Amino acid sequence: MADSRGPSDERRKNGEHGDEDEGDPVTEAFDARETSRTRWVGLLRLSIARLWRRATKTTSGRIIATIAAVAMTVALLVLVTGIALALADGGTTSENDATAQIVPESADLLASVNGVEGARLGETNERAATIRDEPGVDHSSPVLIEPVRLEHDGGEDSPQTVLLVGVVPDDESRTVAGLSTAALESGDPHYADGSYTGPQRGEVVLSSAAADRLDATQDDDLAVSSSQFEAMDVESPAITVTAVEESDGESGDEDTPVALVHLSELQTFAGASEGELADQVLVWGEDDAATAAANGAYPDETVDAPDTTHPSLLFDDGLAFVTSALALLVGVTICAAFVATTAGMTVNEDRRMLAVLESVGFPTHSRLAVVAISTQVLTLCGAVLGGVLGILAIHGVNGVASAGGAPGAVAQAHPLFVPYAVVIAFVAGLVAIPYPLVVAARTSVLAEVSR
């Protein structure tokens, strides 16, 4: 019997078999991705295993030296960045629960370097009283910060430097400079409508750090060091410790010796009564009302919401930004130079191993990937260690400064410093990688066999 199948049937049959022979493109792409992923995982494991073998058996000294050099460079970068952050932030003295704060618009960048007093606000007592009368405002107080040498009344012990913070307390407990104002009597009677002739309360609230430095407890009598009044021919004022409190500091400044006193009394013996000077004005109340009242009283100054220490403050202060930027540039340069040098020397010694990889079928890009991964892993290990060492160095420097009589912390720590160090080290590793890659690319099997 003749075959009844037509040409169309044959084409259909052949087409079906042709599709099966060609395969599914989606499946092929998935298999290719799986193969690539497996290859990169294998290269990563090979690189780490190679580093581990070198660290434990062959060239452990060079690996330790590389990690140590990266760690020391990163630690120095973190320390300098912490110092820059301290320049941008007021430390413990800036920690409060106010709704809004008013600070001078202009700041003298040289003030932190040459000791010249920075910009201050004027007519603060009068304008704060005006702000307190605005609807939606609960309270407003100027804040004056002065480093003062205090001693036990009678001068039995050597004077110690403490940051005195002058405020105008009210009936509510407020937080200023990390301390509560509840232990200070409400009001500021010594101001006396600007005459500064009213009675002085002579009260002080000490932080625990200040109490430890002065060896003082509640109800102890203290006095401002007489050496500060030798040229004024006046008797040094006596003050009584009404409370000793733990600082609520959130920026690592709990060891800063701080104390709260009534504003006008501090203005009097600090020479700030002329012009009613203060470093800032704090406002408590409803958000919109407090901000509006602050802007109305000081339209040409900066009004913002108080916040805890954050690295973003580095961008708001010129001197702090320049300091951190220079530290970043120097840190990346030194780290990249050292990593490039040591990695190049290591690759030069490992030419035989690279030749073996080439002989067993590793293509050039895979051999270079092993070198790049090994270099970055070493760099990142040093970065993590350096970030931790940098945080510890910040606390150590603050401890030394406090023991030496510094009125406040000279560096600030922040949890973001560790990931910051890792990112910077990663960038330094990328800058350093081309040199060892060039050395590795020039390695050949024939050259190594002839050696």
DSSP readout, 245-261?
A: E----SSS-TTS-EEEE
Task: Output phi, psi for 149, to 5 deg.
Answer: -90, 120
Give residue 344's pLDDT.
80
CB 128 within 8 A of CB 140: yes
Among 305, 333, 348, which residue terminates a domain?
305
Please check whether residues 107 and 151 belong to one and the same domain. Answer: yes
Give residue 224's pLDDT.
80
* 177 domain-assigned: yes
Give residue 20's pLDDT.
44
Please check whether residues 278 and 159 belong to one and the same domain. Answer: yes
Please check whether residues 335 and 425 belong to one and the same domain. Answer: yes
Please check whether residues 112 and 53 belong to one and the same domain. Answer: no
Per-residue pLDDT of the chain (451 residues), as tens digits, is 444 445 444 444 444 444 444 455 545 544 555 566 676 676 677 667 676 666 666 566 777 888 888 899 999 999 998 888 877 765 555 677 888 888 887 544 334 333 445 678 999 999 999 999 999 999 999 999 888 888 876 556 678 888 899 999 999 999 888 899 999 999 999 999 889 999 988 999 999 888 888 888 898 888 887 555 555 555 567 789 999 988 765 545 566 788 999 999 999 888 888 889 998 999 999 989 999 999 999 998 888 776 555 566 676 667 778 888 888 898 899 988 888 888 887 777 776 676 666 666 666 777 777 778 888 888 888 999 999 999 999 988 888 877 766 656 678 888 888 899 899 999 998 898 888 888 777 765 555 555 5
Q: How far is CA 291 from each of CA 69, 116, 330, rounded to the nearest angstrom?
A: 49, 30, 41
Among 305, 336, 358, which residue terminates a domain?
305
With the C-alpha atoms ordered 376, 382, 384, 387, is the resulting torsion angle positive or negative? Answer: negative
Please check whether residues 181 and 277 belong to one and the same domain. Answer: yes
Please check whether residues 419 and 344 belong to one and the same domain. Answer: yes
Tokens of 103: 């600070």
Please check whether residues 58 and 141 belong to one and the same domain. Answer: no
Tokens of 303: 């009004």
* 395 domain-assigned: yes
Please check whether residues 218 and 268 belong to one and the same domain. Answer: yes
Task: Report d(CA 387, CA 380) in Å as an integer.
Answer: 10
Give residue 205's pLDDT.
93
* 72 domain-assigned: yes
Please check whether residues 79 and 102 belong to one and the same domain. Answer: no
* 168 domain-assigned: yes
For the packed helices 318-349 and 434-441, what is the interaxial angle rounded to 10 degrees? 20
* 253 domain-assigned: yes
* Number of structural domains the chain divides into: 2
Give residue 348's pLDDT.
73
* 92 domain-assigned: no
Please check whether residues 133 and 252 belong to one and the same domain. Answer: yes
Please check whether residues 231 and 325 belong to one and the same domain. Answer: no
* 61 domain-assigned: yes
Give residue 345's pLDDT.
79
Please check whether residues 57 and 191 belong to one and the same domain. Answer: no
* 12 domain-assigned: no
Provide the domain limits for residue 136. Answer: 97-305
Among 305, 337, 365, which residue terminates a domain?
305
Give residue 360's pLDDT.
66
